[in-house]
Amino acid sequence: MTTHKQRMLAAARGDLSDVTPYVPRIDLWYNANSVNGTLPKQHQGRTQDEISRAEGWALHKVIPELLAAERPEDNLHRALGIYDLKEYPFRHILPKDIEVEVKKKGDVTRVVYHTPLGTASAKTLYDEEMRKAGVSITWIQERIIKRPEDYSPVGYIFENLEIVPAFEEYSKWSDYIGKDGVACAVANLSASPMHHIQRDLLAATDFFYHYHDYSREMRELADRIERYFEQILAVVAEAPAELIVWGTNYDDMITYSEYFQKDILPWLQRASDFLGSAGKLVVSHCDGENLGLMDLIRDSGIHVAEAVCPYPMTKVRIEEYYQRWGDKLTIWGGIPSNLLLAESTSDQDFEAYLDHLFKSIGDGRRMVFGIADTTPPNAVFDRLVRIGERIEKEARLPLAGSVTFGVPQSKAPKEVQRGAERKEALDAAFMEIQQDVLQGRDEDILKHVQQLLDQEVSAQDIVQKGMISAMMLISEDFKAGTVFIPEVLLSARTMSRAAESLEPYLVAGPRTASGKILIGTVHGDLHDIGKNLVAAMMRGVGFEVTDIGINVPTDDFVRQVQEHEPDVVGISALLTTTMPEMRKLIEAMVVAGIRDRVKVVVGGAPVNDRFARDIGADGYGRDAGDAVEVVSRLLSQKTSC
């Protein structure tokens, strides 16, 4: 009888087996339901691997169990992005001239690194709320790089790290998995030295500012990290593993195409070529929005794209993935996690998606079915079971379908002129101000603002006709997919600094805002880049924005709404685990008697229009550009009533 491992390896190599592998990732679901005592009755008392085995599913062993450390020091250096865990076939040795100081206070751990080139520190958090939510990784509360001075000590650490093989520990873990799955050996969760800086060393928003402001320091650090990456390559090439994890967490807005091509792609190609020549297959965790990265990922040399999350949770449909990738790399995933949520997807739509899925992958070659990114805690467990049942019956190989590879994507981003090429859309009198905003020139704009003030141009006109008009173009371009997060952030920063310089003049004269927005991320969710981007875009187009931060308890959120009396409340959630908090918040606003006074807009990766309607929201913003349009429309309707 063909084993799960044999099926998975056949799919990874582009061969046909007897049935398409089904490898659902259930760690988040298991952790949350185990802690809360809500596991299905038939599985109570079992481990997550025992549940998968009992259901006949292959074991998902791609992402390491970052909290399952045998010794405290095995994941102590989380803020450096380095781990000594069973999934890693090597161990790290810090240089002897670095003193590591550990301070614990409640749920927070502070690690201080004293190096010959200075001191750097970071804080991580793991609390009871995170445990109940099933979160499988600590949260970096304070990043190791916070200022330019931190680059030198951090660079010293990486330049002097030593890597030694730990094949015996990895082999024990691989033997435990046996024929029930493939023990993917983790080389690096980052795809390149620069990606490592982005993923682990800097806060998400700060990375883009530093990438622009401190490019020399950042390039020097990436060069110093390169030796560490080279050591990893040499060791994992000799490891007793078939599949090697190299790189995770791509998204066409965060790891946008220009950056991906320059700072990620070369190392992906290098690692894939080197490990491929050693008989290994490279797996990359491609869990984000990949529309703008389709060709780059296809040509990266990786062998397996894991956690592929198609439409309706992202913009690329499963048939497009298979048409464009299926002849060159294996697709692992294909089932968006929100399909497992009753509040997001009806039973009829769930079944219809599976019908379509089986018809979209040709003969089934180079396909591994899985949940992308992972099974949420409040998933309908019977749907996980149903997927397995249907695969067993309907995904016997070869499938009857056919596919023409290399078909262009059905909806390419609309071409939009940018910057200097759009001068005809800008007011000539404010051309320099507008170009400063469009290009993110935060020093030049101060000089140009003063020139207009000296010419007795009103501060209000400078804001409205100069800065806001440019930000409206940025908003349109972002929605069209022709500008990306760093450009939006730099433009918003430029506008913010100019607005600060104009504050005395605006206070003296009449000042109006397009509307008042209060925005925050729900309780239990610690992600902020999406919220920050929406807030920046809203401010840029003239709204008065109050950002109340991340992980905001429901009572605090309601109190802030009562205190600030906004026109619109923006609610963000990036995790399927925190989506229910959106409903709780809206219900709490009803109880507090303030729901009818405001419009509520929700957004975040797992959220969709149906979910927004079901929880009683007034609107849903797919991204920051869309959010601007939705809010503007709602406020226009409110004004006309």
* Inside any domain, residue 154: no
pLDDT digits (tens, 9 = 90+) for 32-84: 999 999 999 999 999 999 999 999 999 999 999 998 888 888 999 999 999 99
The predicted structure's pLDDT at residue 325: 97
Instruction: Say yes or no to pLDDT of 143 above 70.
Output: yes
- Are 476 and 573 contained in the same domain? no
In a domain, residue 404? The reply is no
HEC sequence for 522-591: ECCCCCCHHHHHHHHHHHHCCCEEEECCCCECHHHHHHHHHHHCCCEEEEECCCHHHHHHHHHHHHHHHH
Examine the fold and report which residue of 512, 538, 553 is the final residue of a domain before the chain moves on.
512
* Averaged pLDDT for residues 330-335: 98
Q: Which of 35-44, 134-143, 426-435, 446-455 has the lowest mean pLDDT?
A: 426-435
User: How do residues 480-510 score in pLDDT, each as one tens digit?
Assistant: 888 888 899 999 999 889 988 988 887 665 5
462 and 601 share a domain? no
Based on the fold, state whether residues 531 and 508 are members of the same structural domain.
Answer: no
**What is the maximum alpha-carbon separation in the chain?**
84
Q: How many domains, the chain?
A: 3
Average pLDDT over all residues of the chain = 92
Q: Per the domain annotation, does 554 fall within a domain?
A: yes
pLDDT at 421: 45
Q: Residue 402 falls within a domain, yes or no?
A: no
pLDDT, one tens digit per residue, over 161-174 is 999 999 999 999 99
The residue from 345, 365, 394 where one domain ends is 394
Does residue 89 lie within any of the structural domains?
Answer: yes
pLDDT at 540: 86
Q: Over the stretch 174-218, which tens digit does the pLDDT of each residue have?
A: 999 999 999 999 999 999 999 999 999 999 999 999 999 999 999
Specify the pLDDT at position 624.
85
Residue 418: what pLDDT?
43
Q: Give me the percent of the chain exceeding a pLDDT of 90.
A: 75
Helices (H) and strands (E) in the chain, counts: 25, 17
* Segment 609-628 mean pLDDT: 90
CATH of the domain at 572: 3.40.50.280
Q: Is 220 in the same domain as 347?
A: yes
Among 394, 421, 436, residue at a domain's last position? 394
Same domain, 634 and 562: yes
Q: Do the beta carbons of residue 241 and residue 170 sit within 8 Å?
A: yes
Residues 504 and 547 in one domain: no
* Distance between CA atoms of residues 141 and 108, nearest Å: 8
Shared-domain flag, residues 502 and 524: no
Query: What amino acid is encoded at 462 in this protein?
Result: I
pLDDT of residue 427: 65
pLDDT for 114 beyond 90: yes
Residue 134 lies in a domain: no
Is the confidence at residue 417, as pLDDT, over 70?
no
User: The domain that contains 420 carries what CATH number?
Assistant: 1.10.1240.10
Same domain, yes or no: 458 and 340: no
How many angstroms separate the Cα of 504 from the Cα of each of 27, 298, 376, 460?
A: 54, 53, 50, 11
Residues 368 and 464 in one domain: no
- The answer to whether residues 200 and 323 belong to one domain is yes
Residues 44, 172 within the same domain: yes
Instruction: Please check whether residue 150 lies inside any domain of the structure.
Output: no
Shared domain check, 471 and 425: yes
| Residues whose CB is less than 8 angstroms from the CB of residue 596 and which lie 6 or more positions away in sequence, other chains included | none
**Confidence band for 425, pLDDT divided at 50, 70 and 90:** very low
Count Cα atoms within 13 angstroms, Cβ side, for 305: 31
CATH number at residue 380: 3.20.20.210
**Domain around 560:** 515-641
Would residue 116 count as lying in a domain? Answer: no
The length of the chain is: 641
